[in-house]
Amino acid sequence: MVRFLGLVTRFLGLPAHQYQGKSWISYGLNLALARKGVIVNDKIFKNLTISELQTRGATIQDSLSGIPVYIRGNLFVQKSEITKAQFSKLLKQVTTHISSVSDIFVHDGAIGSTSTSTSTSTLQIDAKVRVISDNPTATCAFHNILFQTPTRAVSHDSCPLTVYVASSISLNVLDAIGLGSEVTDGVIAADADLSSLVLCGKAFCDANGIKKALSALSEPIILSRGGLLLHPKILLSCDRVFLIFLSEDTIKKSLKHMVTDHGGVIMSSTHNASPLFPSTNPKNRFLSKFPASMILSSSDSSGVIPTISKLSHGQAAYHFLAGYKNGTFNPAYGMTSYLCDPLQIAKSLFSKLIDNQIPSFLINVNQGEKQISGMDFVNLVESTQHKNIPPFECKGGDLRRRYNNFLSNKFGKLPQHFSF
């Protein structure tokens, strides 16, 4: 076996001398990187701690925001922001660059940390991630973005994501492949078909941009494993957790009452809501709690929709899918990723609400000239726990017809259990 691996190593152009006395894992790792287009020509460091990375030269970098994020694949929300040819050229440039550096750093982790039990086994609902980096500082950043997971879990996963970090690559390559000459700090590019994410320049300093791309890439994986990735706001009140879907205007006026930095929530059929990414925010204690209820906000100044009403599970899925706001519809409140059909998300939500028996409520935040926000909104949410909220009943008008026309034109025939 050693001789075979040595022959494969020489065939791939890897220096055999660096493998003398190394373990089987070292051979396997280098071959795995070679399959990803990265050839190790000198040293490779795997899953170093932050202190170990610092001894290798890692430093603290100021965080950045606004790094351009490009995503391609089978997108439901919009057209791909980068072409297949552009991404392929960029990936080739990046893997060539990483192969040229003397020290390569690998970090394994996971997005999400939820597990669910079946009658025969325990399934992990997450997305495994392998980071291949040219820089110890960039590798440090992923200690705060990914959950820890055994390396073997990444190596044996059926669809792991790969992150390529080329912090020292010339940004001229972006102009050469048509991504623009105005990029000054870096770029984040994701390809769902290749399960790959590329970070160039200082993009590793933009944690929010990285999470946005990883969230998009991981959502189909999590959905296929029985989980549901949602992006609600979280309200903590009286030691209870509320999952809240709001319009953008209401969010801005109620932010101080919400937990907004969780990056996403995974729901399963047998588990509490759990985080997509780790967080040091003490408010995120909600991650170990079961949701008290789900709140959908609507915005209707005509008075047709009541101020607050209780929804059946089928109604909750229907109104979630519509995302109604004063005559316009924003499917799934615009909070699903680029890669999943909102109807599929709504179907999965319906199942999770039933499995976990989570009650749902609809709040109309627009009362004539007055908009409900801030503590007024919080008080309405809290009232769902101690008041007898009446079931949803539309107060006349043709709103039901408008809902049905929009959803049927957008998604075709809806499941029978979805109802207005």
Q: What is the mean pLDDT of residues 240-250?
A: 76
- As given in the structure block, the two tokens for residue 337 are 């990723």
Shared-domain flag, residues 170 and 262: no
Shared-domain flag, residues 44 and 188: yes
Shared-domain flag, residues 162 and 25: no
Last residue of a domain, one of 224, 249, 278: 224
In a domain, 420, yes or no: no
pLDDT tens by residue, 249-280: 555 555 565 665 557 888 887 656 778 888 77
Last residue of a domain, one of 167, 197, 224: 224
pLDDT tens by residue, 158-167: 889 999 999 9
Q: What is the mean pLDDT of residues 18-28?
A: 49
Question: Regarding beta strands 186-191 and 69-72, do their DSSP bridges make them parallel or antiparallel, or are they unpaired?
Answer: parallel
Q: Given a cut of 70, is residue 399 above it in pLDDT?
A: yes
pLDDT tens by residue, 94-103: 999 999 999 9
What is the model's pTM? 0.85
pLDDT band at 22; cut points 50, 70, 90: very low
- As given in the structure block, the two tokens for residue 283 are 């408010």
Shared-domain flag, residues 186 and 333: no
Q: Given a cut of 60, is residue 378 above it in pLDDT?
A: yes
pLDDT at position 276 is: 85
pLDDT at position 28 is: 80
Q: Given a cut of 50, is residue 17 above it in pLDDT?
A: no
Q: Given a cut of 80, is residue 286 above it in pLDDT?
A: no
Q: DSSP letter for 358, please.
A: -
Cβ pair 394, 420 in contact under 8 A = yes
pLDDT at position 288 is: 56
Q: Given a cut of 80, is residue 292 above it in pLDDT?
A: yes
Q: Given a cut of 90, is residue 225 above it in pLDDT?
A: no
pLDDT at position 19 is: 39
pLDDT at position 171 is: 86
pLDDT at position 203 is: 96
In a domain, 34, yes or no: no
Distance of CA 10 to the CA centre of its chain: 39
Shared-domain flag, residues 44 and 65: yes
When comparing pLDDT for 177 and 20, which is higher? 177
pLDDT at position 191 is: 93
Shared-domain flag, residues 404 and 363: yes
CATH number of the structural domain spanning residue 100: 3.40.449.10
pLDDT at position 27 is: 75
When comparing pLDDT for 205 and 325, which is higher? 205
pLDDT tens by residue, 57-76: 999 899 999 999 999 876 66
List Cβ neighbours of 89 (8 Å cut-off, separation of 6 or more): 176, 177
In a domain, 418, yes or no: no
pLDDT band at 125; cut points 50, 70, 90: confident
pLDDT at position 15 is: 46
Cβ pair 188, 69 in contact under 8 A = yes
pLDDT tens by residue, 400-417: 899 999 999 999 999 999
The DSSP string of 3-60 is: HHHHHHHHHTT--GGGGTT--HHHHHHHHHHHHTT---SSEEEES--HHHHHHTT---
In a domain, 341, yes or no: yes
Q: What percentage of the chain exceeds 90 in pLDDT?
A: 45
Q: What is the mean pLDDT of residues 232-239?
A: 80
Shared-domain flag, residues 49 and 101: yes
Classify the phi-psi angles of 232: left when phi > 0, otherwise alpha if psi is within -120 to 50, otherwise beta: beta
Please tell me the total count of domains within the chain: 3
Maximum C-alpha span of the chain: 80
Distance of CA 194 to the CA centre of its chain: 17
Shared-domain flag, residues 198 and 242: no
List the domain range (segments joined by +) for residue 22: 1-29
- Picking from 394, 305, 309, the residue whose alpha carbon sits closest to that of residue 360 is 309
Q: Given a cut of 50, is residue 79 above it in pLDDT?
A: yes
